[in-house]
């Protein structure tokens, strides 16, 4: 009977390997002793594996590791929300994530659970709390999925200046908000020289600098007050800090800000400066997708490779899209095939060179789809939007049909 059924039935889908073992990123010996003691006491068959950093732990998972529990000590983390989101994104919804910390606060507990933690334990950890966390019952879905209910973060960055990064970010945010009717916020992290507000003929306000310098003030009410309304579905958060002003930015402030923005908006589109800032790594870690606009010049090739390396080292869970922004005139020194060979992959898309339309949009203070709706670039950016807004199953699908303006 069993053999007959096996012949007639369709072959079953490959079963996902069972999770086993405990992977831990710990910062002190007493906590390690407590974890080891509870594993012995409960007679668990799990092997305890230690990693020095979260990046190393996520690398182990990406290389095939399938732990049942990830213990993550966030005591010294400047960006706990981003780190938890990254861990949940890489580990999957069925990985139990136990977050550890020293702050006993109900608000923080709820925020960490929303970001992807299965539980939050305050150090020094009690035997009972840790035993419940490590037991094999109720390990099904972790904390309700990877950051359930939080919006998507898409960061745009150019390998060189002048490749149309801000134009693309503004156009994408506008299309998401106006054409797809998704609540969207556009965040300009060039605090001194950003042009997102200028491109939309809008006053940037002063909320962004205030948020990054005083993270304790960031909450849902602050986000409502600090973001500037462009339309019913689109808001911006930008700044025009004085050139002579040195901003004292708390590196953890962007983590709190992104969390509050993700709670309120379906999409958080970020225009990220090329130069290194205290917020850059946090943004890259929080982003679900990073769009790199590549100039096909020698310097553009060098910096595209450097950005790829940065992503592999600091945000391995993030999907990276390489967009061919071309290079006009004497700047187009590297052929496409040679460029792709050097970066180790095919370019995911390209954007047409349409300087006339881009200039008209900038001068009018309008997004490209409004100022030049018939421009070929608009159709190409709409295809990019389709890819960005696609389901998880289409994230790896290759985009096509774009070149530069």
How many domains in the chain?
2
Same domain for 214 and 261, yes or no, is yes
Do 390 and 284 fall into the same domain? yes
Q: Sign of torsion, CA 31 36 37 43?
A: positive
- Report which DSSP code applies to 92: -
Residue 89 has pLDDT above 70, yes or no: yes
DSSP state of 216: G
How confident is residue 8, by pLDDT bands cut at 50, 70 and 90? Answer: very low
Q: Torsion over CA of 302, 307, 312 and 313, rounded to 10 degrees?
A: 100
Residue numbers of the domain that contains 125: 18-134
Q: Which of 130-139, 152-161, 273-282 has the highest mean pLDDT?
A: 152-161
- 10 Å Cβ neighbour count for 383? 15
111-132 per-position pLDDT tens digit: 888 888 988 998 988 877 888 8
Between CA 42 and CA 127 the distance in angstroms is 11
Considering 209-223, 256-270, 306-320, the range whose residues carry the highest mean pLDDT is 256-270
Q: What is the CATH number of the domain that holds 38?
A: 3.40.50.2300
- Judge if 189 and 301 occupy the same domain: yes
Position 9 in a domain: no
**If pLDDT is split at 50, 70 and 90, which confidence band does 323 have?**
very high
* 129 and 182 share one domain: no
- Helix, strand or coil, per DSSP, at residue 292: strand
Which residue is associated with the tokens 């948020």? 211
Q: What is the pLDDT of residues 161-216, one digit of tens each?
A: 888 899 999 999 999 999 999 999 999 999 889 989 999 999 988 888 888 887 77
287 in the same domain as 156: yes
**146 within a domain of the structure (yes/no):** no
CA dihedral 375, 376, 378, 382 (to 10 degrees): 160
- Per-residue pLDDT tens over the stretch 340-398: 999 999 998 888 877 788 888 888 888 888 888 888 888 888 888 888 876 333 433 33
DSSP 128-140: HHHHHHHSSSS-S
Residues 47 and 193 in one domain: no
179, 307: one domain: yes
Range name among 60-74, 235-249, 282-296, 314-328 with the lowest pLDDT average:
314-328
Backbone conformation region of residue 241, classed left if phi is above 0, alpha if psi is from -120 to 50, else beta: beta
- Decide: 271 and 166 in contact? Cβ < 8 Å: yes
Prediction pTM value: 0.69
The residue assigned the tokens 């309120």 is: 264
- For a pLDDT cut of 90, what percent of the chain falls above it? 31
CB-CB contact of 202 with 230 (8 Å)? yes
- Please report the pLDDT score of residue 313 as a whole number: 79
Does pLDDT of 403 surpass 50?
no
**139 found inside a domain:** no
The residue with greater pLDDT, 216 or 158, is: 158
Is the CB of residue 207 less than 8 Å from the CB of residue 174? no
Q: Which of 103, 134, 165 is the last residue of a domain?
A: 134
Asked if residue 364 and residue 287 are part of one domain, the reply reads: yes
Q: What is the pLDDT of residues 14-32, one digit of tens each?
A: 445 578 889 999 999 989 9
Given 91, 108, 134, the domain boundary residue is 134
Q: Which of 102, 134, 166 is the last residue of a domain?
A: 134
- The angle at the Cα of 206, spanning 191 to 281, to the nearest 5 degrees, equals 35
CA distance 377 to 168: 9
* Same domain (yes/no): 208, 128: no
**Shared domain check, 359 and 241:** yes
Furthest CA-CA distance within the chain: 82
Low-confidence winner among 137-141, 168-172, 236-240, 306-310 (lowest mean pLDDT): 137-141
């Amino acid at each position: 009977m069993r053999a007959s059924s096996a012949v007639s039935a369709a072959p079953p889908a490959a079963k996902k390997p069972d999770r086993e073992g405990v992977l831990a990123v710990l910062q002190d010996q007493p906590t390690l002793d407590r974890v080891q003691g509870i594993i012995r006491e409960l007679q668990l068959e799990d092997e305890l594996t230690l990693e020095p950093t979260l990046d190393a732990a996520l690398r182990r998972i990406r290389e095939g590791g399938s732990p049942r529990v990830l213990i993550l000590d966030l005591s010294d983390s400047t960006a706990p929300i981003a780190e938890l989101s990254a861990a949940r994104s890489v580990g999957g919804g069925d990985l139990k994530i136990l977050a550890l910390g020293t702050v006993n606060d109900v608000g923080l507990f709820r925020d960490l659970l929303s970001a992807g933690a299965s539980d939050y334990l305050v150090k020094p950890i009690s035997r009972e709390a840790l035993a419940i966390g490590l037991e094999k019952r109720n390990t099904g879905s972790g904390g309700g999925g990877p950051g359930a209910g939080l919006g998507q973060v898409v960061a745009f960055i150019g390998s060189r200046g002048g490749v149309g990064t801000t134009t693309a970010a503004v156009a994408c945010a506008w299309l998401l908000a106006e054409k797809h009717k998704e609540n969207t916020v556009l965040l300009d992290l060039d605090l001194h020289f950003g042009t997102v507000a200028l491109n939309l003929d809008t006053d940037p306000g002063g909320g962004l600098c205030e948020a990054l310098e005083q993270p304790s003030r960031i909450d849902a009410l602050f986000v409502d007050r600090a973001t500037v309304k462009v339309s019913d579905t689109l808001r911006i958060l930008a700044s025009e800090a004085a050139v002579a002003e040195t901003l004292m930015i708390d590196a953890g402030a962007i983590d709190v800000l992104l969390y509050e923005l993700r709670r309120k908006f379906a999409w958080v589109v970020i225009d990220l400066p090329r130069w290194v800032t205290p917020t850059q790594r946090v943004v890259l870690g929080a982003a679900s997708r990073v769009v790199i606009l590549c100039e096909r010049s020698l310097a553009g090739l060098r910096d595209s490779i450097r950005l790829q390396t940065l992503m592999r080292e600091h945000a391995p869970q993030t999907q990276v899209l390489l967009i061919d922004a071309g290079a006009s005139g004497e700047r187009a020194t590297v052929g496409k095939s040679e460029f792709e060979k050097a970066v180790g992959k095919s370019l995911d898309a390209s954007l047409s060179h349409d300087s006339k339309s881009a200039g008209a949009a900038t001068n009018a203070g309008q997004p490209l789809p409004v100022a030049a709706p018939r421009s070929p670039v608009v159709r190409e950016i709409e295809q990019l939007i389709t890819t960005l807004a696609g389901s998880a199953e289409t994230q790896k699908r290759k985009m096509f049909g774009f070149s530069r303006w």
